[in-house]
Amino acid sequence: MAKRRKSKKKSTPPKGVPELRGYEVGQYIYALSFPNKVIVRGPITALFKTENDEFAELIDDIGSGYRFALLDDIIDKPTARHINSANSKVASKMRKHAREQEAKKEKARKK
> pTM higher than 0.75 for the full model?
no
d(CA 49, CA 111): 56
pLDDT (0 to 100) of residue 1: 67
- Would you say residue 20 has pLDDT above 90? no
Say what the pLDDT of residue 84 is.
Answer: 92
Integer Cα distance of 32 and 91 in angstroms: 19
Q: What pLDDT, on the 0 to 100 scale, is given for residue 56?
A: 92
Which pLDDT belongs to residue 80? 93
Cβ count near 99 (within 10 Å):
10
